Structure 1
Amino acid sequence: MRLQEKVAIITGAASGMGKSEAMRFAKEGAKVVVADLNIDGAEAVVQEIKDNGGQGLAVKVNVTDNADLENMVKTTIDTFGQIDIVVNNAGIFDKYTNSLETTEEQWDLIFNINLKAVYKITNLVLPGMIERGNGTIVNIASIAGLVAQMGGAAYTASKHGVIGYTKHIAAVYASKGIKINAIAPGTIKTPLTEEMLKTRPTNKIPLDRFGNDYEVAELAVFLASDESKFMNGAVVPIDGGYTIV
């Protein structure tokens, strides 16, 4: 098992890519904290993890709320003793809203969830990781952080920010034992997007299909494991080749 006895927090893990990541991490031996605003969904994921012989804990968290984030970290340490891995997966989409149509409130909400929460969670877990001389962070960005027109103004800007922040943390804290990388998914089929994607063409993707959430989870496991120990500050697209054409 590649993550045996590691303790991992995964945000936005009650459904979609986050759920697949939680299930896959648990299968690889990690003790998984399923953090989500949807506590019923989070508890269902934890039950599924336990039914499959894994260990998990559900924590209700609004990633824009400082008290919730502090509680998430404290509860994890109180329960499992430490935090080895964080997957900053929680995020929201802006439905391709252009700048002139984006209100300041929408902009702030998207940035607070997609980018500011990554900064706040990272700052909460970094001291403990640095003290132990070891810690891994995987940030779920997007190909909208690499190219234009895969999201609206706020989403695109926020995901560019996640990538820039990932590189900064790697450059500054690598010598302290911190490994941080970002995943840039393309269009991924999840239970929430499956119906919408039925009418969306795939001809601009060289592999001519959408991705699946379990494929992103496999990449997240690799980046969280020692198999990727010489990778730091990397941004890995998983997009069927969309960004190469």
Structure 2
Amino acid sequence: MQLSDKVIVVTGGGDGIGKALCLRFAQEKPRGIVVADLDEAAAAKVAEEVGGLAVACDVGQESQIVQLVEAANAKYGAIDLFCSNAGIATGGGVDASNEEWQLIWDVNLMSHVYAARAVLPQMIERGSGYLLNTASAAGLLTQIGSAPYAVTKHAAVALAEWLAVTHADDGVKVSCLCPLGVRTKMLENSGEVRALLESDSLGPDEVAEAVVRGIDEEKFLILPHEVVATYVQHKAGDPDRWLRGMSRLRKTMLDTAGD
């Protein structure tokens, strides 16, 4: 899909990957960019840079996603591309509190459900539209040190796959963005995996460039780190060997952290 003259919504657009997406999309001369973020001031700053509309939005609340779509429609008309990008990270395993599990579930998965539910009717009616769901390489592999993050990102990938299969005949395209380490606040706060992810990390602008290419080619999986495809092949080819390798990697990281 070409982005010229398109209406684009980006959640989590006030910082990190979301901000980079807004700035890069602006170069394609879209009709309008709606910058949504929990931090209204951050959204307003980015919106000013791209000449767009800022909307305060907690993506874990369906009513606010509905209001976001209504605001975009009122300002620019029908949405062509909805980038469900906002996400959070937390540590812990199955021992993480129910409250932590629920919060990350709502933000990392249900926000994609709410977005699709809100925009699909208008896309299906006109026979065109595009959903970009930001997941993570953790959604294809796993996340050492965080069960909630690994599980919710896997769920986000699964939802994107389902949407792509189910709505292909409706003219709706779907891409799933799955980067490894990206130099954002989330990486800075990633704890024991930070050193592992930093070595091959990309800047948000590099990820945004990969997204524009991926949307232009209408690719389902957008992998800014090409090595992720190799890791996925290894995992699929011999899951037991892959799990043993990941277990060794986890032990090495813990030993290093303890030195």
* Interval containing the TM-score (normalised by the shorter chain): 0.7 to 0.9
Query: Does 1:49 find its partner at 2:27?
Result: no
Instruction: Provide the aligned C-alpha RMSD in A.
Output: 2.3
What residue in structure 1 maps to residue 224 of structure 2? 238
Identify the structure with the greater strand proportion. Answer: 1
**Kindly tell me: are residues 243 and 46 of structure 1, through their superposed partners in 2, closer, same or farther at Cα, counting changes over 3 Å?**
same
Which sections of structure 2, spanning at least 5 residues, go unmatched? 232-259
Distance in 1 between residues matched to 2:187 and 2:42, nearest whole Å? 17
Report if aligned partners of 2:214, 2:222 keep a CA contact under 8 Å in 1: no
Distance in 2 between residues matched to 1:151 and 1:117, nearest whole Å? 23
What residue in structure 2 maps to residue 222 of structure 1? 213
Farther off after superposition, 10-19 or 209-218: 209-218
> Is the partner of 1:91 in helix, strand or coil?
coil
Distance in 1 between residues matched to 2:45 and 2:204, nearest whole Å? 18
> Is the partner of 2:66 in helix, strand or coil?
helix
**Kindly tell me: are residues 105 and 196 of structure 1, through their superposed partners in 2, closer, same or farther at Cα, counting changes over 3 Å?**
closer
What residue in structure 1 maps to residue 252 of structure 2? none
Moved over 3 A (4+): 191-197, 199-202
Residue 68 of structure 1 deviates from its aligned partner by 1.4
User: How many percent identity over aligned positions?
Assistant: 32
Residue 86 of structure 1 deviates from its aligned partner by 0.6
Amino acid across the alignment from 2:202: G
Deviations 1:197-219 (A, max 9, x none): 9x9435x88xx531111111112
> Is the partner of 1:219 in helix, strand or coil?
helix
> Is the partner of 1:171 in helix, strand or coil?
helix
Distance in 1 between residues matched to 2:63 and 2:194, nearest whole Å? 40
> Is the partner of 2:158 in helix, strand or coil?
helix
Identify the structure with the greater helix proportion. Answer: 2
Report if aligned partners of 1:186, 1:240 keep a CA contact under 8 Å in 2: no
Amino acid across the alignment from 1:237: L
User: Is the radius of gyration larger for structure 1 or structure 2?
Assistant: 2
Query: Does 1:89 find its partner at 2:85?
Result: yes
Distance in 1 between residues matched to 2:41 and 2:153, nearest whole Å? 28
Query: Does 1:64 find its partner at 2:85?
Result: no
What is the TM-score with the length of structure 1 in the denominator? 0.86
What residue in structure 2 maps to residue 124 of structure 1? 118
What is the TM-score with the length of structure 2 in the denominator? 0.82
Distance in 1 between residues matched to 2:171 and 2:155, nearest whole Å? 23
Q: How many residues matched?
A: 229
